[in-house]
Structure formats: structure tokens, C-alpha cells
């Protein structure tokens, strides 16, 4: 499988202890985290101490499925099986070295490679769902095995819950670790804000699109979700149609969304020229391009709290097919305009449903206004999305709502977010039984048929804050 991995994918994100400085003197809460829900095999070591987050290690290996023009479940499974032990073994060398004066031998692990006494994690975190069950099982079973071997607790993490909580991880890193600001480039739109409950989240990826209201760590209400395909899937599919084949062939992954953004806006924000609709009428009005085509916003005639993106791909396909039938190839200039219009339509659809949700909450809870909107998931790395959301909400009377998103390397699937979600659940005294199995579909909302975040069997709530209870 390693022979099928591209060099850039193999090192898509790697952060080691040497970049983060020495381990803190006082002992914090330490977890080794594993993520294998889709095609990324990711392992991280995350620590929280005195509300300060520190990532000692984070690395992803992404399966190369370019020949299939999308994720291939079996190829991704084989990649997880071949690489999970390699990454765990590498992560162990970045466990903080135990303090010689205070360390308890029972709370340390010694590696044959350097024979240093290193701190044993306080617990293991691993993604339990949602995702591809076989792929999830690789990481989940590996995490449970480490839990048994080290005799430490285990926490099975909800993948979308982790995305939702990622800005809280980022805020803790930014507020307390001065060194990190010089090591990682943070975008201007992502202010160092620690989201406090309640807040809204737009979770956008290749497999999910949902608008969530979070009242507490474990109380989440899904206000809207997609009725067909996810926004990330729609953007990837339209990218394969719009972006010239010569550029697609040069891509090192099947994540074509970033390719579409780069093609549409080669000069970044200087190419945006975005003007948000001031009224609902302007929002749903037909916007015909200089080329004679237009894209219709999903659910344009309704205020239904629901997303839909399949029609956008169908419209793009018809536009391109019509051009091909005319015998006149679509120019690069027209392709760029179509790429921009596709993203504008997708992102304004997200923004319009968010405005509807904010209006309903404002009308029903005048004394409990929501002032924070979290954007997370792979699509959150799109800078144009952040521009559309900021300007759209501002134009519609919600300029007071702070929009925050993680830096791009934490928007994609990664084990650091799994570790942080594990820490938050662990601190709230939640543990996972070793009998827990992977879950393909798993809602966040307690009102759902499966009971939401705490619905599946396997959770246990311990009494008191003792970290060693098992």
C-alpha cells in the first residue's frame, strides 16, 4: 500500500514534539488518539493542562485513490491496516519524557529505541463513528488494544462531535502557547475565540452537511441536514467537470474542492468581488451570467430548514454538456466563471439556512442570543466560504455573530481533534466500554431515533473526577 501513497499525501500533516518545545513541568491530561473513519489514517498525542492544549504529535497518511477518482473503501481499509501500527509506533517516540523526580514507574512506558521513561497516556481516544465500519474498526480495535495493554481507560469519539469542538482546541492553543503562533499560519478570519455554549455550528465535509445548535458538551440539536448529498461531495463532483482535465490529472489527491477554489480564485481574495444579497428577493433572483446560463439556489422558494446540493451538480453538467453539443469548447474564462458561480450558490445556500435558523432562535429566545457560529469540517478550509458567510450574515442583520473556523490542517479529518474531543468527554467523566463496536451512522441529536451522541450502548459515566477509574 505504501507504494500507492503519494509523497504529499504521506506527509499531508506532520507535527512533532521538536516543534513544540519541551514538555510542561506539571502533569496534564494526556491522550493518544486515533482516527480511521474514512481514508485518512491519523494518530496524535494531545495534552491539556490548565486549559492549555498542546499537540505533541500529529501525522496523517492518506490513501491514494486517484485512479478511482474518489474514495475506494477496500483500498482505504488496506491503507489503514498497513499504516496504523507504523503511526502508533512513531507517535510513541513523542510521548513526553517523565520527570525523573516525580514520575511513578507504573505511569510510564519505556521504549526499546531510547530507553527513556516516558509518560503513559491517561487514556486512549479513537473514532467510533460515523464512517465506514470496517475502516473505523481498524482504529477502534487498535485503541482498545492499547487500552488493555496499558490498563488505562478508553473513550470512543463521535467524529462530527470532534469537528464541532475543534475551535475550542484551537482557542486553547492560541491563547496559551505563544510559540505556536510563529509555527502555524492562522487565517485572519479565525479569531482566537473559545466557543462557549450555546453556539451554532455548520459542519461541512465530503460526507456531511449539517447545522447544529449546541447547548452543552453532550446536548446538540441538528437544525438542518442535507436531503441528498453533502456539500463536499457536490463540490468535488463539479470540480471534476469544470476544472480542465490537464489540471485534474496533476492533483495529488481526490479532494478536488481545493483545486476548484484555486482554479476559480488564482489571486485569492482579490478575485472574490462578492456582493451579498441584501434581501430575500435578491437572494432568490435569477442571476444570468454573460454566457447565458444561470444556477438556481436550492429551496429558493421556501424557508425550509434543510440543505440540498445534488441539483447544483446536475445544472453544471447540463451547462457543460450543452456547450459541448454546440461544438464550441468552453473557454477557460467561462470555466472560471462557472466555478465561482458554483461555489457562490453552494455557500449562499448554507448562509441562507443559517440566517433562517438565527432568525427563529432570535424570535423564540430574545434573552438568549447566539453570537458564535463555528464552521468545521474539510470544506471549512475554503476561504471563499468564510467570506460569503461573513458578508451574507452581515447584510442580513447578523453582523454581531462571530464566525470562527480552525486552521486548514485541523479542518480535515485528523486525530488531534479526536484527542481533544476525548479529553472533553473524559473530563466530563465519560468512558467507553471495551465491548463498544464501530458505528456507520450515528446522529449527534438526542432527539434522533438512535438517541444521538449518548444513544449507543457502551458509554459509562463514572462518579467523581478520578482519572484512573476504569
In a domain, 441, yes or no: yes
Q: What is the Cα–Cα distance from 1 to 21, expressed in whole angstroms?
A: 33
Q: How many domains does one find in the chain?
A: 2
Percent of the chain's residues with pLDDT above 70:
86
Q: 3-state DSSP helix/strand/coil percent for the chain, to nearest 5? A: 40, 20, 40
Render pLDDT for 159-186 as a digit per residue (tens, 0 to 9).
999 999 999 999 998 544 443 333 333 3
116/238 same-domain check: no
CATH (domain of 396): 3.30.420.40
418 and 401 share one domain = no
Q: Show the cell assigned to 284.
A: 432568490
Let me know if residue 190 belongs to a domain: no
Whether 363 contacts 221, CB under 8 Å: no
Q: Are 360 and 352 in contact (CB under 8 A)?
A: no
Residues 161 and 207 in one domain: no
Same domain, 82 and 140: yes
Contacts of 178 (CB under 8 A, 6+ apart): none
Asked if residue 393 belongs to a domain, the reply is yes
Which of 385, 406, 427 is a domain's end point? Answer: 406
The answer as to whether 320 is a domain residue is yes
Kindly report which listed range (32-36, 171-175, 247-251, 378-382) carries the lowest average pLDDT score. 171-175
Domain region containing 451: 2-185+410-461
3-state secondary structure of 467: coil
In terms of pLDDT, which residue wins out, 217 or 74?
217
Same domain as 368, residue 242:
yes
Quick one: 285 and 238 in the same domain?
Answer: yes
In a domain, 400, yes or no: yes
Q: Same structural domain for residues 440 and 359?
A: no
Same domain, 215 and 321: yes
Q: Which of 106-115, 219-228, 234-243 has the lowest mean pLDDT?
A: 106-115
The answer to whether residues 264 and 289 touch, using CB atoms and an 8 Å cutoff, is no
Say whether both 262 and 308 belong to one domain: yes
Contact between residue 202 and residue 346 where contact means Cβ atoms under 8 Å apart: no
Q: Cβ contacts of residue 3 below 8 Å, gap of 6+? A: none
* Residues 357 and 281 reside in one and the same domain: yes
Dihedral of alpha carbons 139, 144, 145, 147, sign: positive
Query: SS3 string of 156-216?
Result: EEEHHHHHHHHHHHHHHHHHHCHHHHCCCCCCCCCCCCCCCCCEEEEEECCCCEEEEEECC
**Pair type for strands 220-225 and 52-62:** unpaired
CB-CB contact of 5 with 55 (8 Å): no
More confident residue, 426 or 18: 426
Same domain, 387 and 415: no
Q: How many CB atoms lie within 10 A of CB 89?
A: 12
pTM: 0.88
Give 88's Cβ-side CA count (13 Å radius).
Answer: 25
The verdict on 379 and 394 lying in the same domain is: yes
pLDDT of residue 216: 95
**Per-residue pLDDT at 103:** 64
Is residue 466 assigned to a domain?
A: no
449's grid cell: 431515533
* Average model confidence (pLDDT) across the chain: 86
Contact 320, 314 (CB under 8 A): no
Answer whether residue 151 is part of any domain.
Answer: yes
Beta partners for residue 29, in sequence order = 48
> First vs last Cα of the chain: how many Å apart?
37
Q: For 42, phi and psi rounded to 5 degrees?
A: -135, 140
Looking at residue 465, its pLDDT comes to 55
* Structure confidence by residue, pLDDT tens digits, 65-104: 777 766 778 888 999 999 999 999 999 999 999 876 556 7
Amino acid at each position: 500500500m505504501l507504494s500507492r501513497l503519494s509523497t504529499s499525501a504521506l506527509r499531508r500533516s506532520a507535527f512533532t514534539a521538536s516543534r513544540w518545545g519541551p514538555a510542561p513541568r506539571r502533569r496534564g491530561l494526556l491522550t493518544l488518539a486515533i482516527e480511521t473513519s474514512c481514508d485518512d489514517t491519523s494518530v496524535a498525542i494531545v495534552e491539556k493542562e490548565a486549559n492549555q492544549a498542546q499537540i505533541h504529535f500529529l501525522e496523517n497518511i492518506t490513501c491514494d485513490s486517484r485512479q478511482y477518482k474518489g474514495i475506494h473503501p477496500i483500498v482505504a481499509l488496506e491503507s489503514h491496516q498497513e499504516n496504523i501500527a507504523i503511526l502508533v509506533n512513531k507517535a510513541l517516540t513523542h510521548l513526553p519524557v517523565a520527570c525523573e523526580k516525580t514520575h511513578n514507574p507504573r505511569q510510564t512506558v519505556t521504549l526499546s529505541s531510547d530507553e527513556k521513561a516516558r509518560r503513559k497516556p491517561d487514556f486512549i481516544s479513537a473514532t467510533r463513528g460515523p464512517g465506514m465500519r470496517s475502516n473505523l474498526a481498524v482504529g477502534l480495535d487498535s485503541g482498545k488494544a492499547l487500552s488493555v495493554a496499558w490498563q488505562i481507560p478508553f473513550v470512543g469519539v463521535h467524529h462530527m462531535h470532534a469537528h464541532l469542538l475543534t475551535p475550542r482546541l484551537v482557542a486553547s492553543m492560541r491563547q496559551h502557547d505563544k510559540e505556536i503562533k510563529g509555527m502555524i499560519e492562522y487565517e485572519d478570519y479565525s479569531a482566537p475565540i473559545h466557543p462557549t455554549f450555546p453556539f451554532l455550528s455548520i459542519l461541512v465535509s465530503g460526507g456531511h452537511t449539517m447545522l447544529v445548535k449546541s447547548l452543552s458538551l453532550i446536548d446538540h440539536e441538528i437544525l438542518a441536514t442535507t436531503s441528498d448529498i453533502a456539500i463536499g461531495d457536490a463540490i468535488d463532483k463539479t470540480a471534476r467537470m469544470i476544472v480542465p482535465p490537464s489540471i485534474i490529472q496533476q492533483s495529488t489527491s481526490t479532494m478536488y474542492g481545493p483545486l476548484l477554489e484555486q482554479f476559480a480564485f488564482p489571486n485569492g481574495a482579490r478575485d472574490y468581488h462578492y456582493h451579498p444579497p441584501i434581501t430575500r428577493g435578491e437572494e432568490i433572483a435569477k442571476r444570468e451570467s454573460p454566457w447565458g446560463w444561470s444556477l438556481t439556489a436550492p429551496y429558493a422558494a421556501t424557508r425550509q430548514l434543510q440543505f440540498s446540493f445534488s441539483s447544483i451538480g446536475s445544472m453544471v453538467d447540463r451547462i457543460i454538456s450543452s456547450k459541448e453539443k454546440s461544438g464550441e469548447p468552453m473557454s477557460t474564462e467561462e470555466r472560471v466563471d462557472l466555478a465561482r458561480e458554483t461555489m457562490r450558490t453552494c455557500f449562499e445556500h448554507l448562509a441562507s439556512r443559517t440566517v433562517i435558523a438565527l432568525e427563529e432562535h432570535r424570535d423564540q429566545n430574545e434573552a438568549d442570543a447566539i453570537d458564535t457560529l463555528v464552521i468545521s469540517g474539510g470544506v471549512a478550509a475554503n476561504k471563499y466560504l468564510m467570506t460569503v458567510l461573513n458578508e451574507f450574515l452581515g447584510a442580513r442583520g447578523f453582523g454581531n455573530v462571530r464566525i470562527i473556523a480552525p486552521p486548514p490542517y485541523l479542518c480535515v479529518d485528523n486525530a488531534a481533534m479526536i484527542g481533544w474531543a476525548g479529553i472533553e468527554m473524559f473530563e466530563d467523566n465519560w468512558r467507553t466500554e471495551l465491548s463498544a463496536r464501530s458505528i456507520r451512522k450515528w446522529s449527534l441529536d438526542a432527539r434522533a431515533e438512535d438517541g444521538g451522541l449518548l444513544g449507543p450502548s457502551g458509554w459509562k459515566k463514572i462518579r467523581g473526577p478520578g482519572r484512573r477509574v476504569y
